Structure 1
Amino acid sequence: MSNLLIAVVALVAIGLALWRLLAPFDGVTVSQATVGERTPATVYRPAGEGAAPTVLIAHGFAGSQQLMQPFALTLARNGYIAVTFDFLGHGEHPLPLTGDITRVEGATRSLLDQMADVARFARGLPRSDGRLGLLGHSMASDIIVRFAQQTPEPIVGTVAVSMFAPTVSAETPENLLVIVGGLEPQALLNAAKRAVALKPGVEEPSPGEIYGSFSDGSARGWRIADGVEHIGVLYSQESLTAARDWLNRSFGRKSRAGAVVWGPWILLLVLAAAAFARPAFTLLPAVREAPTGAGIGWRRAWPVVVIPAVATPLVLWLLPTNFLPLLVGDYLAAHFGLYGLLTALALWYVGRGRDIAAPTPPLPWARFALAAAAVAAYAILAVGVPIDRFFISFWPIPERLPLIAALFAGTLPFFLADEWLTRGPQHARGAYPATKAAFLVSLMAAAGLDLEQLFFLFIIVPVMVLFFVVFGLFSRWSYKATGHPAVAGVANALIFAWAIAVTFPMVQQ
């Protein structure tokens, strides 16, 4: 009865979330396009027949155009033509990002050239009145600022979210608003304030105040979206409303359609799909009659938890990890792989091989493979498809399939060793969340040792926490049904490899 109740509640929650997520599309026409050299783009057109200004919307590092849908829908519902696209190497763009990412004449130039192509496409769209505004997040904030400063065509208004843009001057870009999340690093808050303080006579600009005039392009301001971090700022009602109002004043328009606030509904959809796994996983075939696993208490488990967390970032700090054409993703593969090997070695040492010896009787491989495949398929379809539709690109293009295979070789040792450590009779209470917390601390330590190359690891921690929670529940429920920790070990290794391979940008230097 409890499983039936969970299934019913989960289905109702899924229906409610989908209804709220799809409702903003009413009155908006959405079409797909390919621009220039195979750039995937999406055009959001408002209802009506009159001409409208166009806003070009750009995502940040390791993002995709799906991530910017709340801005696109909010602006389209307010009478703008909104255009989103995938940068080179990101999302579903099949071509890698080329050039040195640390040099302006490297990757930055490639992204500026790509934006010029998309801007020409946007200006020439049917019903476009030829006027163009820009909105960009994080990495794209630098690109849109540079583009607005360099393009000979006028840019009416620019909105930079989570901005770092060293080229901002007192005069350019025109009509600039900077939005930053209240929980973002202090450096981004300082950058937002500094962009406004560049104006002559403005020493201590207040958030929410407007300095200068929209009519001559000198308007400048900054806003703080309270209580949100680097990703949450894209889903904040404050961010969306501020962008709408700023562009309305830049273009001399009046519209008051509400902001498209998706964040809570995306979270509800993912959590409801995850909850439905509990009754669904009762159908998994049993792999072991008696649950198996290391089953060791904290007295022996604590060094197995601590040693890999400390050793992995230190060892990898000394070794090259740029072995895949996947920025940051190759380091994550190495971190997962080494961490898993060290965990397995520590497990063997504390048990002298007894706790991780091959179980007897022999493993029923057909049932094991069926169970692992079912768990992975459920995660990819029930959780991955909603993520791809409403949050960020999750469905791999053919160019990313070899990367999934390579990353799976790294994630598999970690999840197999971790599942074995945290399952079994008399296992250490709380070991499962403790090992995930130790892994995240280890990742942050690695980022601290190499801030220039690995800073983005700090930013993805909230997403990693969500993944560990959701797929940790999958692990618990599949272990209860199958009795073998390796079922979730294989499934979660594939899921994480998949997520990393489709998220981080493909590069060619």
Structure 2
Amino acid sequence: MRTVEDVRPRAERRPALRVVALLLALVCAALGAAGLATADRGVERHSTMVAGVPLEVVRPAGATGRLPGVVVAHGLAASRQLMRGFADTLARRGYAVELVDLAGHGASTARLPGAGDGLAADARLDRDLDVAVGHLRSMPWVDAARIGLLGHSMGAAAVLRYATAHPEISATVSISQGPTSSTGSAARPRNLLLLAGGLEFAGFRDGALEALRAAYPRGRAGVTYGDPRAGTARRAVVVPGVEHVGVLFHPRTHREVATWFDGTLGASSGGPHGAGLRPVWRAGSAMLLHLAAVLSFGAIAAAVLRPVASGRERRRVPLPLALGVPAGAVLAAVPVMAVVPRGLLPLAVAAPVAGFFGVIGVVLLGTALLTGRTGVSRDGRSSVVAAVVLVALTVVSFAVPAQLGWAHAVPVGPRAWALLPIAACATAFFGGVEALCGGYGRRAAILIHAWIAGGALAGLGVAALVGAASSFVLLVAPLLAGLLVWQGVQAAALRAVRAPVWLTAVVGGALLAWPIAVTMPII
């Protein structure tokens, strides 16, 4: 005979854990908020829109005289927020820094042809850089004769191309640009620093060395060649232990960038506010706020959706099905990515990725229905109210810290309506996951959730490797992995209060869909 203690939800049996989580959440929230509040100390920011290109100019607070300028360009599926660390570093050393949202990204509503590939895309990116450079040069406190460029990934290829065509650009920093078609001239572009992460795909590391050796055939990483005064300086550096995004936040990257521009643009090292490097200050503070949201979710869910004291027992999907069907669903979803029209949604890779998750969700939901799994009775009105609160909390928990710290997170242009079909597919996916987890104990449900999430990530990798999806999927896989883990924590908290499957699905759908809709480039 089972006691009341046996049937009571585990979350009710462990109030101490919830208190500890809330205390940790408060600490993380306080540290994150303090970090973001002080991130702009010593610098001034001004955002504007010029010829349809969103720009943000950062300079040392109270600076006098004419400053050297640097235009910073982000990579594919990023925005100027991801590159703010370079503005923080350089502005404190005496530079005027202009961050740009390239076409299809961030606050820009312009279409990026070919999702960044092809001559039309090159022309559009060149045009946006031309607008940014022209605007920075027009500032009365900027020395128009000392302008540099910095770019990452797609932005790196763009600044390389632009600087090669515009010899008036004094120095260029290219981070993770991949293979290049360099002419082999040491003077075009002038004073080139090439960086790549040690954990990046080989093409990115090789691209940096190839660009160096195009001008200096015997060039080695970590050695500077040429003369900065003549514009022929070249240097390639592989930053150890970081991948495609992590390279942007490594102190070695920022030291190399600051030293390179100091030597080629002639800024006064240290600037009026010192030369302290703070590459992760802003993004790290935002991550602390994300962590605070994850830690506090369980307590908030319990407050708005109190545990059910009794209800119908959940019939479990047999374990072989709970583990085997997801594997089959992933295999079935991989070829779907190849047949979903890339232009079905106005966002790069969004339609195939959404279709992938949607197919898996439909298969999992169908399995649960065929096995006759039942749910838990609950007052419908309270569930709807809780769903509204928890979805809003989830979106705000992602969007606000991201917008302040590392990514543009406000839907603009066609992103707003594209969010709906993406959310529908993501909701189906998490509904299927939760349906298979229903009826299992806490640990078993967590393992099933992790099994399905890991299988989905593996399926995306297979799809990219066999050509069913763009290889760009591999670069956004870390973001998707983080979101799946985030929802795994939220789903466990909702199971503890016996939330209905549809509520957990809707919350997870919002969490996965929002970042995809606001980060994938408009095409």
- TM-score over 0.5 for the alignment? yes
Distance 2:173 2:141 in 1: 23
1:161-180 matches, within 5 Å, as 161-164=175-178, 166-171=180-185, 172-180=188-196
Given the superposition, is the C-alpha separation of residues 50 and 482 from structure 1 closer, same or farther in structure 2, using an over 3 Å criterion? farther
Given the superposition, is the C-alpha separation of residues 303 and 99 from structure 1 closer, same or farther in structure 2, using an over 3 Å criterion? closer
The match for 2:73 among 55, 58, 70 is: 58
* Root mean square deviation, CA, Å: 2.1
The answer on whether the counterparts of 1:46 and 1:80 sit within 8 Å (CA) in structure 2 is yes
Distance 1:413 1:196 in 2: 49
The answer on whether the counterparts of 1:293 and 1:422 sit within 8 Å (CA) in structure 2 is no
Deviation at 1:285, TM superposition (A): 2.1
The match for 1:298 among 302, 314, 319 is: 319
Q: What is the aligned length?
A: 495
Deviates more, 1:75-84 or 1:381-390: 381-390
SS at 1:79 equivalent: coil
Match of 1:212 in 2: 226
SS at 2:238 equivalent: strand
Q: Note the residue ranges of structure 2 that are not aligned, 5 or more in a row.
A: 1-15
The match for 1:277 among 272, 294, 297 is: 297
Deviation at 1:169, TM superposition (A): 2.8
Percent identity reads: 27
The match for 1:449 among 466, 469, 476 is: 466
Name the aligned partner's letter for residue 68 of structure 1.
M
The match for 2:142 among 124, 128, 134 is: 128
1:146-165 matches, within 5 Å, as 146-151=161-166, 154-164=168-178
Match of 1:347 in 2: 368
Name the aligned partner's letter for residue 491 of structure 2.
S
Does the alignment pair 1:188 with 2:204? yes
The answer on whether the counterparts of 1:293 and 1:420 sit within 8 Å (CA) in structure 2 is no
Deviation at 1:294, TM superposition (A): 5.5
The match for 1:230 among 226, 244, 250 is: 244
The answer on whether the counterparts of 2:342 and 2:349 sit within 8 Å (CA) in structure 1 is no
Deviation at 1:101, TM superposition (A): 4.3
The answer on whether the counterparts of 2:69 and 2:136 sit within 8 Å (CA) in structure 1 is yes
Match of 1:310 in 2: 331
Deviation at 1:268, TM superposition (A): 2.7
Distance 2:124 2:323 in 1: 48
Does the alignment pair 1:239 with 2:287? no
The answer on whether the counterparts of 2:301 and 2:493 sit within 8 Å (CA) in structure 1 is yes
The match for 1:40 among 54, 59, 83 is: 54
Given the superposition, is the C-alpha separation of residues 220 and 290 from structure 1 closer, same or farther in structure 2, using an over 3 Å criterion? farther
The match for 1:417 among 432, 450, 470 is: 432
Name the aligned partner's letter for residue 457 of structure 2.
L
Distance 1:235 1:443 in 2: 26
Given the superposition, is the C-alpha separation of residues 235 and 22 from structure 1 closer, same or farther in structure 2, using an over 3 Å criterion? farther
Name the aligned partner's letter for residue 70 of structure 2.
V
The answer on whether the counterparts of 1:178 and 1:223 sit within 8 Å (CA) in structure 2 is yes
Deviation at 1:292, TM superposition (A): 6.5
Distance 1:227 1:137 in 2: 17
Distance 1:170 1:396 in 2: 42
The match for 1:107 among 98, 111, 121 is: 121
Deviation at 1:398, TM superposition (A): 4.8
Given the superposition, is the C-alpha separation of residues 398 and 191 from structure 1 closer, same or farther in structure 2, using an over 3 Å criterion? closer
Match of 2:94 in 1: 79
The answer on whether the counterparts of 2:86 and 2:254 sit within 8 Å (CA) in structure 1 is yes
Distance 1:75 1:220 in 2: 20
SS at 1:322 equivalent: coil
The normalised TM-score by structure 2 is 0.90
The answer on whether the counterparts of 1:14 and 1:272 sit within 8 Å (CA) in structure 2 is yes
Name the aligned partner's letter for residue 338 of structure 2.
W
Given the superposition, is the C-alpha separation of residues 291 and 260 from structure 1 closer, same or farther in structure 2, using an over 3 Å criterion? farther
